[in-house]
Structure 1
Amino acid sequence: MSGSREERTPRRGIWGWMLFDWAQQPFHTLIITFVFAPYFAAVVAPDAARGQELWGLATGIGGLLIAFFSPLLGAIADAAGPRKPWVFVFSVIGVLSCAALWFAVPGMADLTLVMIAIALAVFGMEFAAVFNNAMMPDLVPRSELGRLSGSAWGLGYVGGLVSLVLVLGFMSASPESGLTLAGLKPVFALDPATHEGDRAAGPLTALWYIIFVLPMFLFTPDQPRRNRSGALRQGLRQLAATLRRLPSQRSYFSFLGASMFYRDALNALYAFGGIYAAGILDWSIVEIGLFGILANVTGALGAWAGGRADQAYGPKFVVNVSILILILCSLLVISTTRTEVLFVEVGEGSRLPDMLFYAAGALIGAAGGSIQAASRTLLVDQVPRTEVTEAFGLYAFSGKATTFIGPLSVAAATAWFSSGAFALSPNDAQRLGVTPILVLFMLGFALLPMVKARVEPMVRG
């Protein structure tokens, strides 16, 4: 099959593929960013700085596993044909690991099993997305990929928003009041004192994924099965040939490098945003959840708008603007504490730090949704139509294979500022520990001038 074919994928097949983003987004929203991550850092770990370090270590190990296995498994999958079996295998790993997070009780002495579950959840869920994304070019003509990508990202953000509202409104309650954000007692008699509502984010993510990933398996067409004998040898031969000629393709090579850096920075920003707010601004899970709701709303709008803006101004323009916004937001986040805004002291009890952090979250959500939608379109501009599927596989590899850089660099920076010659306070160490994210965004932005758009944008009047 090819994205350029005249025969169109049935609408239910396209919707089935798009629903994968809806199914998977609660993993990023509830586990990685707004509920479980800050709960782990603030309540399970000994202190917030140590929690940020351990979270970076666990998610970084998950990224290292992806880096180790993705070239081999991606080559085999390309040679064998179908992607759904791979999606299924890694979905099982991700679902079981998310469900296991229920056992992360407050103040537990040994965090080993929880950290293993976190690493495997990242490994399984992210790898399932790699093979799902590889199905995208076969669904619509090339001219419609940008709109499909943006719509799918937008739908995913809406799914994350709905799941977050469910957790905050009906499950996660304040230990002091015993009530959820909606002023209700938690459903299923979840105990606020032991944070059962926060821990339930893991099993809810697993159940949500199982239900909403089914349409993709049932209705979305897959590649036909090829001769499996020699698939490993054939796939590795093709991968080796691609990697040999890649450095000579300056624009394509530069785009993969730039996207590797800025996507890793964005993932790290998502992963540590809630942890940072809990440790530096002393936000509760409810406040972080409201922050998450806002970011998901603007993320959905940004993804939808990004998918259409690249038709008017080109995807490279959208990516450039989005990175600049994310750099400014990162600076704002680092310069904001309970008593400072832009490194300038504010009065005690001021709500200005909270308001600016909410504003930064809204912009991060919008720019993050937009850049992810436009990046997939910009990739299509780098290769001939006959190489789109292979390009998406390499794009996935270049992004997923380095997902450990952001988390591990944050973990290392936090540990460095916490000990040795610096030995800063936990708050200052946590604050300076996220500076590698800013560096990664700048590296990605520096490589973009070498990236060319093969298709000129059509600016509408």
Structure 2
Amino acid sequence: MHMTATAAGDTEPTTIIPRSHVLSWGLWDWGSSALNAVATTFVFTVYLTGNSTNHPFGDVDSVSAMLGATLGVAGFIVAVLAPITGQRSDASGRRKFWLAVNSYIVVLILALMFFVQASPNYLWLGLLLLAAGTLFFEFAQVNYNAMLLSVSTKRTIGKVSAFGWSMGYFGGIVLLLIVYFGFIHPDVGLFGVTSANGLSVRVSMLIAAIWFGIFALPVLLAVPEYHVPEKVARPKVSFFGSYVRLGHDIARLWRTSRQTLYFLIASAVFRDGLVGVFTFGGVLAAGTFGFSPSEVIIFAIAANVTAGISTVLVGRLDDRIGPKPVIVAALVGLVVCGTAVFLLHDAGQTAFWIFGLALCLFVGPAQSASRSFLARLIPAGREGEIFGLYATTGKAATFLAPTAFAVFVAIGGEQYWGILGIVLVLAIGLVVLIPVSAKPATVAP
């Protein structure tokens, strides 16, 4: 299959898009599961926070709060720098270069997690590596998202975006199976690895680093480098001059495409809630519902299967009815299911299995449709900048879910109260999104 598109994702037959380019682009998402599924969600964060019977780094509730605060600081740094990195990659035409640099910094950070031994003395090292991994992953994702319009058309943006997200979930399944059956579940895993001093988790992080390192390569080798359209090319400016340009660009968005800014704000809030669902899902499974590390990974595999399948199916719906109805329906489902997890926390693991998996039905479609919603609005030559703003507005709000989680844990005195913080963020995002117009913007380049 081939598709035709212009640099802005139009359907004019100026560029042939081979299926291999779409697959290579999606494989980066497949590889990024090393950070998303293994490091920040179901393995390394659970290793740090512990569970009801095993907490080598300290009290579950206090470590959970520290985790939320650390990720909040990382989000603030991304918020300050992301639009500048995107804008400068637009101007230089070096999206793939910066995608490569930031991706392989994440690979290095994943490998360094091997050195976080099961002791309170290593807690801050673990937290700092998580924060740094989140930081550079977000920088990489700015350029990765900007490449969506190079591998899709206006008619297939929703499907291709959903394909990428689903590849992330399915990649997570395969990688979690490898680390679960290879190292974490057996008393003695491959190469004689045991759980002593957290070795099974630490070796799993080395596997995650190799995984991302391999699957980050295809997009760098197969998809052509972006070239700035001559009609929208802009002169290079200094680093601080980029902020001046950013201010002018935001002012122009306000004048000519105010709905785009409204969507960036709304998506910032609800996307942080979406990230919170997965970031704290494994933590809650272990700390509140008594899942063992092995049970957390089994749940993670089921969660990724559920999210991956729903994302693929709903991606086709995105192209037919538009992304906004998809996002609204998903957020309503998330608020309902999240509230059920809180109310039924005393019902034990069965309740978490039912409503936790129900949450996963809605997370992927909301994330994918949000990306395709914005991609439909971006003019040629400003993909990196606008997706940089997308990252910035998202990370400007990144403190919301971790902070709300930590605040509600403090209010309720128990970890499960943090669920209400995540639900609140999702509900606010839904309310802010509802009045946003879904009509395409007419942003002057």
Same fold (TM over 0.5): yes
Corresponding position of 1:274:
282
Corresponding position of 1:367:
362
* Superposition pairs of residues 82-231 of structure 1, within 5 angstroms: 82-173=94-185, 179=187, 185-224=188-227, 229-230=236-237
Assess, with a 3 A threshold, how the Cα gap between structure 1 residues 235 and 81 changes in structure 2: closer, same or farther.
Answer: farther
Corresponding position of 2:424:
439
Work out the CA distance in 2 between the residues paired with 1:304 and 1:62.
30
2:444 paired with 1:449: no
Work out the CA distance in 2 between the residues paired with 1:110 and 1:171.
21
Are the counterparts in 2 of residues 8 and 140 from structure 1 also a CA contact under 8 Å? no
* Superposition pairs of residues 71-86 of structure 1, within 5 angstroms: 71-86=83-98
Report Cα offsets for 1:106-137 as digits up to 9, x if no partner. 23335222222111111122221111111111
> By how many angstroms is 1:232 displaced?
4.6
Are the counterparts in 2 of residues 64 and 403 from structure 1 also a CA contact under 8 Å? yes
Work out the CA distance in 2 between the residues paired with 1:38 and 1:441.
23
Are the counterparts in 2 of residues 146 and 373 from structure 1 also a CA contact under 8 Å? yes
Question: What amino acid maps onto 1:2 in structure 2?
Answer: A
Report Cα offsets for 1:16-44 as digits up to 9, x if no partner. 11111001022111111111111110134
2:317 paired with 1:309: yes
Question: What amino acid maps onto 1:409 in structure 2?
Answer: A
2:251 paired with 1:244: yes
Identity across matched positions, percent: 30
Question: What amino acid maps onto 2:435 in structure 1?
Answer: M
- Partner of residue 258 from structure 1, selected from 258, 261, 266: 266
Question: What amino acid maps onto 1:439 in structure 2?
Answer: L
**SS of residue in 2 equivalent to 1:194:** helix
Corresponding position of 2:443:
none
Are the counterparts in 1 of residues 183 and 194 from structure 2 also a CA contact under 8 Å? no
Question: What amino acid maps onto 2:337 in structure 1?
Answer: C
- State TM-score, norm by structure 1: 0.85
**SS of residue in 2 equivalent to 1:9:** strand
Question: What amino acid maps onto 2:203 in structure 1?
Answer: A
Runs of at least 4 residues off by over 6 Å: 225-228
Work out the CA distance in 1 between the residues paired with 2:125 and 2:384.
37
Assess, with a 3 A threshold, how the Cα gap between structure 1 residues 311 and 2 changes in structure 2: closer, same or farther.
Answer: closer
**SS of residue in 2 equivalent to 1:142:** coil
Moved more, 244-253 or 91-100: 244-253
Are the counterparts in 1 of residues 85 and 388 from structure 2 also a CA contact under 8 Å? no
Are the counterparts in 2 of residues 250 and 450 from structure 1 also a CA contact under 8 Å? no
**SS of residue in 2 equivalent to 1:161:** helix
Corresponding residue pairs, total: 423
> By how many angstroms is 1:293 displaced?
0.8
Are the counterparts in 2 of residues 64 and 401 from structure 1 also a CA contact under 8 Å? yes
Question: What amino acid maps onto 1:84 in structure 2?
Answer: K
Assess, with a 3 A threshold, how the Cα gap between structure 1 residues 228 and 242 changes in structure 2: closer, same or farther.
Answer: closer
Corresponding position of 2:4:
none
Work out the CA distance in 2 between the residues paired with 1:125 and 1:59.
13
**SS of residue in 2 equivalent to 1:450:** coil
**SS of residue in 2 equivalent to 1:111:** helix
* Superposition pairs of residues 315-326 of structure 1, within 5 angstroms: 315-326=323-334
Question: What amino acid maps onto 1:241 in structure 2?
Answer: H
2:289 paired with 1:286: no
Assess, with a 3 A threshold, how the Cα gap between structure 1 residues 401 and 17 changes in structure 2: closer, same or farther.
Answer: farther
2:36 paired with 1:28: yes
- Could you list the runs of 5+ residues in structure 2 that have no partner in the other structure? 1-6, 441-445
2:7 paired with 1:12: no
Are the counterparts in 1 of residues 84 and 246 from structure 2 also a CA contact under 8 Å? no
Assess, with a 3 A threshold, how the Cα gap between structure 1 residues 434 and 300 changes in structure 2: closer, same or farther.
Answer: same
Are the counterparts in 2 of residues 306 and 369 from structure 1 also a CA contact under 8 Å? no
**SS of residue in 1 equivalent to 2:184:** coil
- Partner of residue 390 from structure 2, selected from 389, 395, 409: 395
Work out the CA distance in 1 between the residues paired with 2:234 and 2:33.
34
Report Cα offsets for 1:393-446 as digits up to 9, x if no partner. 3223322343233223323443x33xxxx7x3xxx2x12234221111111110
Corresponding position of 1:349:
none
* Superposition pairs of residues 35-46 of structure 1, within 5 angstroms: 35-42=43-50, 43-46=55-58
